[in-house]
Amino acid sequence: MTSAIADRAVAMALEAGASQAEAVVVDGARALTRFANNELHQNVSEDDVWINLRFVDGQRIGVASGNSIDDEALERLARSAAETARLQPEQEWFRSLPGPAPVPLAEGAFALATAEADPELRAEAAAAVIAAARAVEAQAFGLAETSAETISVVNSLGVDVSEQRSRARVMTVMMGPGGGTGYAEQVAVDVEAIEASAIGHEAAQRTAAMANPIELPAGDYPVVLDHYATMDLALWLGAVGFNAQDVQEQQSFFEPGKVVASPLISLADDGTDQLGTPASFDYEGVAKQRVPLLEHGVCRALVHDSKSAAAEGVPSTGHALPAPNPWGPNPLNLSMAPGEMSREEVLGGLERGLLVTRFHYTNAVHPRQVRITGMTKDGLFLVEDGKIVAPVRNLRFTQSYLDALAAVEAVSRERRAVDGDDYLGTIVVPALRIGSFSFTGTTEH
């Protein structure tokens, strides 16, 4: 269905005078069950079709989008895109939309169980989390969500690709006696792979352990970053470091061959990593390549869309966002390589320092240095001789994530898929031990 809609939209754009045209159609369903104060309180769902039409008139480009798919609506969409294009200045960078090329479909991008998940299934997941919270006299807040979509990209040069994708997530924050809080989540393509009870117990254990935290002064501490905290490092590197447009505009630290991290750190964008949420092609219908961003701490490659690739005379790597796109290409399937130690061994090597569950409200102070400010949240612990000895009040930090990655001493074998929000999709990461991390302030909680 989505491919046929895209075909019709492209044909109408050509009839309206386009020299080239491209249509992206996403037919998706998303459902969300929320819980708070140990009670289910909301179930919502949405089914929608979204169409994005790019109209090319020489080097002028216009884009229009909508969610009506009858012929009259598609004709209006084509006229709107045409009118927009003819009001635009010529885009000197533009050469052509991508041409057709093989697009191998990634395994594991779709699970029927997720597409067919009903409110009862999500409620059962929430109930399992709530039961774990009640066992430690805590209150659970969070969500269970499922989504599935069919995406098609068609253009007038012969690109015609379609794929089904799905995603499920269970997330909770708990609040318990003595001011304790805890966090846990799991993301998977297949909802049946999510162990809601295990997520609940993970958060509950943190919540109980965080009761009556002690206060530590600001300063530089060795740390172990659990998977949720490591995700934030990968997210910010992806957001400001490996976008080819940012490099072309001299807004990134990236230089080929430059050492920016420990030899223990390798980071790729890999749409085939089945620990994450695989995808086979981007919003221009170009096959996603596995792009080695960092190899053993060394800058290797960048992600490209057709615009950034044209500026350098190289092929797109399949990382385009929907047009119009002022941000450039994005790595949406970040995957950090595992290490050789168990998480327990990574923690066991910390003589005296902090175990950080996750970071919260992080913002860039200096994007080119990947200098980030934020705070810890929902699980900060003092560690001595590899053992947790006390919960700690949250600390604020300002830290170059590049400097942090340069100080990595150990990487866990275990990796987890963590939600990188709508901006960077699903991110697969290990836990890290870092020799020094700069905490600049204390908090009251």
DSSP string across 2-67: HHHHHHHHHHHHHHTT-SEEEEEEEEEEEEEEEEETTEEEEEEEEEEEEEEEEEEETTEEEEEEES
CA–CA gap between residue 441 and residue 394 (Å, rounded): 9
The pLDDT value recorded for residue 421 is 76
Look at residues 442, 342, 317 and name the one whose alpha carbon lies nearest to residue 392: 442
CA–CA gap between residue 62 and residue 71 (Å, rounded): 20
The pLDDT value recorded for residue 1 is 84
Run means of pLDDT, 10 residues per run, the chain, 445 residues: 96 98 98 98 95 98 97 97 97 95 97 98 98 98 98 98 98 97 98 98 98 97 98 95 96 97 98 96 98 98 97 96 94 97 98 97 95 98 98 98 98 97 86 98 80
Look at residues 163, 165, 111, 424 and name the one whose alpha carbon lies nearest to residue 287: 163
Side chain identity at residue 357, one-letter code: T
The pLDDT value recorded for residue 444 is 74
Evaluate whether 296 touches 265 at the Cβ level (below 8 Å): yes
315: left (phi over 0), alpha (psi -120 to 50) or beta: beta
Side chain identity at residue 143, one-letter code: L
423: left (phi over 0), alpha (psi -120 to 50) or beta: alpha
Q: From the CA atom positions of the chain, what is the Rg in Å?
A: 23
Q: What angle do CA 213, 217, 222 make, to 5 degrees?
A: 90
> Which residues face 39 on adjacent strands?
36
The Cβ of residue 87 has, within 10 Å, a number of other Cβ atoms equal to 9
Distance of CA 27 to the CA centre of its chain: 21
CA–CA gap between residue 231 and residue 227 (Å, rounded): 6
Evaluate whether 235 touches 405 at the Cβ level (below 8 Å): no
The pLDDT value recorded for residue 422 is 66
Side chain identity at residue 243, one-letter code: N
